[in-house]
Amino acid sequence: MVQAKQTVKKIMLASDSPGHVELLLGNEAIARGAIEAGIQVATAYPGTPSTEILEGLSRVAKEAEIYTQWSTNEKVATEVAMSASMSGLRAITSMKAEGLNVALDFVVVINMTETGKGGLVIVVCDDPEAWSSGNEQDSRWEARSHEIPLLEPSSITEAKEMTKWAFELSEELRITVLVRSVTRISHSSAPVTFGEIKHLNRQAYFDPKQYFSPIPVTKNHIRRKQKMDKVRGMFETSPFNWYSGPDSPELTIVCSGTGWLYSLDAIEKLEIENSIGILKLGTTWPLPTEFIRSYLEPDSNILVVEEVDSFLETHLKEYLYTDWSNGALPKIYGKGTGHISSVGELNPNIVIGGITKLMGLDYRPREAEYEEKAAKYTKNTVQYRELAFCPGCPHRASFWTVKNVLRLDDTDSFVNGDIGCYVLDRLSSGTMMMRTHYVMGSGSGLASGFGKLNRFGFDQPVVAVCGDSTFFHAAMPAIVNAIHHSSNATFIVLDNGATAMTGFQPHPGTSTGAMGETVSPIDMEKVCRSFGCPVEVADPFNGEETEQKLSKLIEQEGTKVMIMRRKCGLLAFRQDGPQYRVWVEEEECLGEECGCNRYCNRIFKCPALVWNEMAAKAYIDEAICTGCGFCVDICPRGAINRSSLVT
């Protein structure tokens, strides 16, 4: 049934059927907007909450006659999209907020030149509350810093329409446009009405008379500013900005993105529709100042509602104080004044809090008695579930081995971590080896630095882990740096054959492209050997051999690479089925007497290794055990057994 629904959605996303209504994720709506705009090229590097844009486009690439690519990283993705634009094709690239940082080196100069004749749109999905990110970055500042027109959809329908229009703007002014979504737009669903698809069917051609370079810089910078003035003029009359509410409101909410929906909700709950106005902005850089001004009076009270930083609030103040110098000025409240929380994700209650504080209203969403009861029942009935490596995950085995090797005779050892499933070592596993964890590739960069500190008395073993996709994305330059500077460090690549954390997208080490086509896999082992450093490859499920190889490498001076290779547990289970039937011999199990009070259950922590309270013994939950068989090796008593299911 799920499969059937997916197939319908797959066909519909590329269907030329104006007027058709389809339930779409925000990210799918962005993909549909790009299809309606007639894109021919789409690129991305996977990252939550942006992944479904390219996934949606890749699902229909053949029907929509577009080329899609999971690029090595976000900078390359942007450059590949720009090459299409330079050749006259419309192109889109998408990324999460932290991915924009990787792309920035190119993005900062992108509007110092023209785009090509083909429109170029960058979609960045911010993650307020950092549900799946390392920070609550607000990407809108990049639009201001690097003079990129910025659009912020407030609904899923608008996400489609804005993406589509962004290409018109881009081509009209030969300028790259940034569309900023947030998790709640990207990952919510709503009915979306399809429009017509532009079948541009352009032929790609780079006119050699064109020249793309930011040099001469000052001349190009002036031209960039002139273009942004034109953009401002277009934004002044944009249908993505509007006012709703009474003619003379007591309070005017200025908002963008999800702030609009939360404000509507708050006003409805407070039943103050007759006293509050909403100035909803969809084009947020450059600000459509004349449009904004037409709805404000010198004695207006303004509450700014926006996701993450006080971006609108700051620029509104800047504009009013510089351009509206006729004495009295509106009062502006928001994150800067503490009326709206300046960390975390917005919600209607936060907006209600800001409004009630400003207007002196008393509002309680529920009776106190209800809240007490809800807290009591939640506490007693909702089971706490830890984050955990999946059953059968090779990373659990890898960290087990790393811990065994490092902790054998050294208590000050630690692992420099990275971004990927393996961050769960820090968040949930009993090994807890990971002590640094920032952005993609930074674990390897830090290790290349720690490995040079021996001259200052640093004598701890230096180890970094990264995933296979991260190896190609950002870790490789750090490893090269370590080798080049004779850094004393061991780099472990946890190669599970996929970008597993974001949903198994391909990467340069795999043999399938975004559209399912066959591509040339890059042999990571050969790459590392070509660096000229010692390289070992081991199967993390072969604990003894992996331990020996890792110990030997760590003892060696200089830079070393260890590839721990084993297919992701979920992929292996889906593709190959279980390898073993695994069970605990109850009579053999030491129960509470076991090391660390249940070694397998509290330290190894495979979710399938559970505790039988009645018998006070460990047992294996066959419903979730993937039959990887690794836990057999970790029981000090030999109480865990396995029998092969592979004939």
When asked if residue 148 is in the footprint of ligand SF4 (CB under 6 A), the reply is no
- C-alpha count within 13 angstroms, C-beta hemisphere, residue 260: 20
When asked if residue 639 is in the footprint of ligand SF4 (CB under 6 A), the reply is yes
Q: Pick from 342, 402, 631, 645 the residue near ligand SF4 by CB under 6 A.
A: 631
Strands 276-281 and 242-244: antiparallel
Of 512 and 597, the one with the shorter C-beta distance to ligand SF4 is 597
Of 243 and 611, the one with the shorter C-beta distance to ligand SF4 is 611
Tell me how far, at minimum, the Cβ of 601 lies from ligand SF4, in Å.
Answer: 6
Stretch that binds ligand SF4, among 1-9, 245-253, 377-385, 602-610 (CB under 6 A): 602-610
Of 463 and 634, the one with the shorter C-beta distance to ligand SF4 is 634
Of 554 and 606, the one with the shorter C-beta distance to ligand SF4 is 606
When asked if residue 424 is in the footprint of ligand SF4 (CB under 6 A), the reply is no
Backbone angles phi, psi at 108, to 5 degrees: -65, -25
When asked if residue 594 is in the footprint of ligand SF4 (CB under 6 A), the reply is yes
In whole angstroms, give the CA distance from residue 482 to residue 444.
9
Stretch that binds ligand SF4, among 28-36, 164-172, 280-288, 590-598 (CB under 6 A): 590-598
Tell me how far, at minimum, the Cβ of 610 lies from ligand SF4, in Å.
Answer: 9
In 214-329, which ranges are continuous DSSP H helix?
Answer: 217-236, 258-270, 289-293, 311-323
8 A C-beta contact, residue 570 and residue 577: no
Of 478 and 639, the one with the shorter C-beta distance to ligand SF4 is 639
- What does the longest C-alpha to C-alpha distance in the chain come to? 87
Q: Pick from 174, 432, 637, 641 the residue near ligand SF4 by CB under 6 A.
A: 637
Stretch that binds ligand SF4, among 104-112, 271-279, 417-425, 598-606 (CB under 6 A): 598-606
Stretch that binds ligand SF4, among 143-151, 344-352, 458-466, 599-607 (CB under 6 A): 599-607
Amino acid at 114: E
Tell me how far, at minimum, the Cβ of 621 lies from ligand SF4, in Å.
Answer: 8
When asked if residue 582 is in the footprint of ligand SF4 (CB under 6 A), the reply is yes
Q: Pick from 97, 346, 464, 608 the residue near ligand SF4 by CB under 6 A.
A: 608
In whole angstroms, give the CA distance from residue 30 to residue 434.
37
Q: Pick from 143, 255, 350, 609 the residue near ligand SF4 by CB under 6 A.
A: 609
Q: Pick from 83, 590, 645, 646 the residue near ligand SF4 by CB under 6 A.
A: 590
Cα–Cα distances in angstroms (integers) from residue 366 to residues 340, 360, 363, 373, 626, in the given order: 21, 19, 9, 11, 45
Cα–Cα distances in angstroms (integers) from residue 414 to residues 13, 417, 434, 452, 493, in the given order: 47, 9, 6, 16, 16
Of 376 and 407, the one with the shorter C-beta distance to ligand SF4 is 407
In whole angstroms, give the CA distance from residue 329 to residue 348.
28
In whole angstroms, give the CA distance from residue 160 to residue 164.
6
Q: Pick from 68, 72, 391, 564 the residue near ligand SF4 by CB under 6 A.
A: 391
8 A C-beta contact, residue 32 and residue 160: yes
Could you tell me which of 525, 524, 499 has the C-alpha nearest to residue 514?
499
Amino acid at 362: D
Helices (H) and strands (E) in the chain, counts: 23, 24
Tell me how far, at minimum, the Cβ of 393 lies from ligand SF4, in Å.
Answer: 8
Distance in Å from the first CA to the final CA of the chain: 33
Q: Residue 449: in which H helix or E strand, if any?
A: helix 442-450
Stretch that binds ligand SF4, among 169-177, 197-205, 269-277, 634-642 (CB under 6 A): 634-642
Stretch that binds ligand SF4, among 359-367, 488-496, 508-516, 631-639 (CB under 6 A): 631-639
In whole angstroms, give the CA distance from residue 161 to residue 163.
6
Strands 91-96 and 41-44: parallel
When asked if residue 627 is in the footprint of ligand SF4 (CB under 6 A), the reply is yes
Task: Build a one-symbol-per-residue string for 332-371: x at contacts with ligand SF4 by CB under 6 A, - elsewhere.
Answer: ----------------------------------------
Tell me how far, at minimum, the Cβ of 64 lies from ligand SF4, in Å.
Answer: 40
**What's the Rg (C-alpha) of the chain?**
28
- C-alpha count within 13 angstroms, C-beta hemisphere, residue 544: 2
The footprint of ligand SF4 (CB under 6 A) covers 391-392, 582, 584, 589-590, 594, 598-601, 606, 608-609, 618, 620, 625-631, 635, 637, 639-640
